[in-house]
Structure 1
Amino acid sequence: MNPQKEEIIMIKTTTWKHNFSNYDNLDHINANGHQHLEIFQPFESKKIRLQLNNLYGETPLVIDSLEIYTNSKKKVSVTKDGKKSFAVESRLVEWSDWIDFNLPADSYLSVDIVSPTKAIHTLGLTISNDLIRTENSDPKETKYFFGISEIQVKTEHAHKRIALFGDSLTNQGNYAAPLSIDLEKEFHCVTANYGISGNRLLHPGHSTSQWSTSFGEAGFTRFDHMIAEYQPNIVIFMEGVNDLLHPGTGAPINELPTVNALVKAVHALKKKCKKHGITFVPMTITPAYGNINGGVFAWSEEKEKIRLAVNHELLKMPHIIDIADFVSNDDKLKPEFDYGDHVHLSNEGGKQVAKFVEEQLIRKRMV
């Protein structure tokens, strides 16, 4: 008799995930009722499903149609509960049905959404066009997108999961997106972007800024949600600059943290990771000298002293990546890394940072 063929057990794998936030000050995102996205997918698969996100919506997100396709241009309808038209109720995150779909490896999945819902505030944000492409391809403009916050496929093998956790320097993708693509293509890892623009480690969104609601809950507490939800093997952590920038420029000045408070918080995150067998990779806080926030100078000598002192302590931690030293000179962002506001990374600068971080991960034998 021929030996019985072993049944292949397929593993549910997240191939793309992007943190959404509450942009309640934006009302024009779906002005034309249609959205086109292209999202990089590293693995071949025959089964796929999409996460449908209306977490901050006050009304249902109505989907008239949701179609996916790749280079073949053969469109396949994505359904929920067997229906091609459906609604995602307010305050919910739901999953589509599993869809039979021939997904090639290293391809961009096109996603077309037709929706009559105009006031959509549950949004993702990107500047980089590397990992997720919107209809606006301008590399310097902020792009918002709705509806889809995660993609899962079924694969034969498990893959190392890497979470990129931080603020806008992570969320915007100028370093995170090219790093993710390299890690996925070269090392067969999967990544998730847990950055939130304006996020602080120690405080939730608490500001006179029109963007305050989108700043989200404090990084210290949402870190727990990330661990439970994504169960990463590695966390690359890059946060702290907003804890220094925001006080006095919308947030109360008495929320400016001490060196000890920031350092203790980062060490506490490391302990949380150790408890779950996760490798914690912190990065030093990059400079923000010259930044203007809300019409006032956001940086000061006191803030710079705190940043340098915090970095001095962080450099004692295992797995630390000294990103601040790589991108700065005389405690300022080098011009080639500066997006123009003296805080954020430029498109080309972000790619250099991605290569630097990747080299550090290789050198530390994490990938």
Structure 2
Amino acid sequence: MRAALTRAAGPAAVLLTAAALQAAPAHAGTARHEVVTWAAGADRVGDGVPGRAYRLVVRTSVGGTDARVRLSNVFGDRPLTLDSVRAGLRASGAALKPGSNRPLTFGGARTVTVPAGRTVLSDPLPGALPAATDLVVSLHSPDAAGPATGHGMAMQTSYTAEGDHTGEEGAGNWTSTTGSWFYLDAVSVRTDARAGAVVALGDSLTDGWQSSTDLDRRWPDYLARRLRQAGTAVQGVANEGISGNKVLADGAGPSALNRLDRDVLSHPGVRTVFVFEGVNDIKAHTGVTAADLIAGYREIADRAHAAGKCVVGATVGPFKGWPEWDPAAETVRQEVNAFIRDGGAFDAVTDFDRVLRSPYDPERLLPFLDNGDHVHLNDKGMQALADAVDLTALDCAHRT
């Protein structure tokens, strides 16, 4: 059962109204641009249900104005019509702050049809949206059917209703919960041109599996808090982890190679790609070699560099004790990590293996950080990953 925990949106969250523009960072005379403030890796999440409404809770990282949402029907096999999409600020549970729930438009229209295999962007929503805020996107489709696109393991409680209740700010009709995000792909804001974002490309360790639901304790969440406190130029954090994801092979979502353009490089304001993935390729025992994975890492780095992004690589953590571990898999992990550290493909390296491994058996997770299955992390483990990131490495100049 998911805990019924909520976060306070904070005193600055009387937003998404025209008057709230006064609360936005002014930066008079400073150029502004669009930066992703939240995102989640797209995959198939069951089938669409006609007449169902979703009230989806997400947490912003960088603050700004003129929020835009990206809706996705990438895995759909038919057009998806949404006849109401609204954005507001959460009070608690499914209830919104009074006066914050405003309609989003698409080319000036309140109804949008997303073609199969495509995404769409909303028009900018005037007003301010601060950092570290619970944004709630409510949407309704009268005729959804076929494969639905979204993010399966949100580690966040959202809400559903039968019928179009998107315009209601109260929680009365939002009587069911879901642990997934449906059709919502990303949120961006306009902010200081000096600001940028980092995208974490990964698997369940980045997705946050076994961190505390509803408390934003995935390691990218801890990283966002560190960046905000440090006041660095990189402020946006997009979590593009998908549980079970691999670098090379499709399965739990398209592979990192196959989703790099859409899930990472397409987001606005991205300065850095943070690659922390590979354990699922290694432990699957499908004949993947270190050379195969190294070629995959090189391709990710080359494509990201070609797009003008900085690329940080993270070593693969230990997983001895997981049922699929064996000495052959450990040999591949060690060879892969040697390349990540010293192969020269990345602009910077974060040695997560060194942070996570036990000093008594470096092939195992440090018990204090292990959630108990010997591959996934508890909240302390998530925080340890974020604390290990050199914040200056997230703003490196791409080498020429």
Instruction: Assess same fold via TM > 0.5.
Output: yes
Residue identity in the other structure for 1:17: A
Distance in 1 separating the partners of 2:264 and 2:81? 30
Q: 1:363, CA displacement in angstroms?
A: 7.7
Q: State how far apart, in whole Å, the 2-side matches of 1:227 and 1:127 are.
A: 18
Specify the alignment match of 1:326 in structure 2.
Answer: 355
Instruction: Give the counterpart of 1:215 among 250, 253, 257.
Output: 253
Look up the equivalent residue of 1:270 and give its one-letter code: A
Distance of 1:301 and 1:36 partners within structure 2: 46
2:276 matches 1:238: yes
Deviation digits for residues 31-69 of structure 1 (CA, Å, limit 9, x no counterpart): 992322232234554422211111111233332422212
Is the Cα contact below 8 Å between 2:310 and 2:394 reproduced in 1?
no
Would you say the 8 A contact 1:76–1:101 is kept in 2? no
Aligned-pair CA distance for 1:278: 2.9
1:131-210 correspondence runs (5 A): 134-135=158-159, 143-172=179-208, 174-184=218-228, 186=230, 187-188=232-233, 189-202=235-248, 204-205=249-250
Q: Does 1:110 pair with 2:136?
A: yes
- The answer to whether 1:15 aligns with 2:37 is yes
Q: State the Cα deviation string for residues 261-293 of structure 1 (Å, max 9, x = none).
A: 3234324433444444432211111122232xx
For each residue in 1:177-207, what CA deviation from the matched residue of structure 2 results, as whole angstroms up to 9, or x when unmatched? 22234324532521222323222222x22xx
| Cα displacement (A) at 1:169 | 1.6
Q: For 1:272-351, what aligned pairs fall within 5 Å after superposition? A: 272-291=303-322, 297-317=323-343, 319-329=348-358, 330=361, 331-351=363-383
The aligned amino acid for 2:86 is: E
SS in 2 for 1:261: helix
Deviation at 1:226, TM superposition (A): 5.4
Matches within 5 A, 1:114-133: 114-116=140-142, 117=144, 120-129=147-156
Task: Work out the CA distance in 2 between the residues paired with 1:343 and 1:30.
Answer: 35
How many angstroms apart in 2 are the aligned matches of 1:34 and 1:191? 27
TM-score of the aligned structures, taking structure 2 as reference length: 0.71
- Give aligned-pair identity as a percent: 24
Query: How much does 1:8 deviate?
Result: 6.4
Alignment-derived partner of residue 361 in structure 1: 391
Question: CA 1:127 to 1:142, structure 2 compared with 1: closer, same or farther past 3 Å?
Answer: farther
Q: Distance in 2 between matches of 1:284 and 1:197?
A: 18
| TM-score with structure 1 setting the length | 0.77
Alignment root-mean-square deviation, CA: 3.2
Query: Any stretches of 5+ residues in structure 1 without a counterpart?
Result: 1-5, 206-211, 248-252, 292-296
What amino acid does structure 2 have at the position aligned with 1:196? Answer: I
**Partners of 1:105 and 1:233 in 2: how far apart?**
18
Give the direction of change, closer, same or farther, for the CA distance of 1:156–1:114 in structure 2 (3 Å limit): same
Partner of 1:94: 120
Q: Aligned residue for 1:260?
A: 291
Structure 1 SS opposite 2:349: coil
**Quick one: distance in 2 between partners of 1:76 and 1:286?**
44
Instruction: Name the counterpart of 1:58.
Output: 77
- Contact 2:272/2:395 (<8 A) preserved: no
Equivalent residue letter for 1:15 = T
Which amino acid is the alignment partner of residue 274 of structure 2? I
Secondary structure in 2 aligned to 1:320? strand
- Is residue 265–residue 307 contact of structure 2 (8 Å, CA) maintained in 1? no
Paired with 1:269 and 1:60, the residues of 2 have a C-alpha distance of: 31
Q: Distance in 2 between matches of 1:123 and 1:361?
A: 30
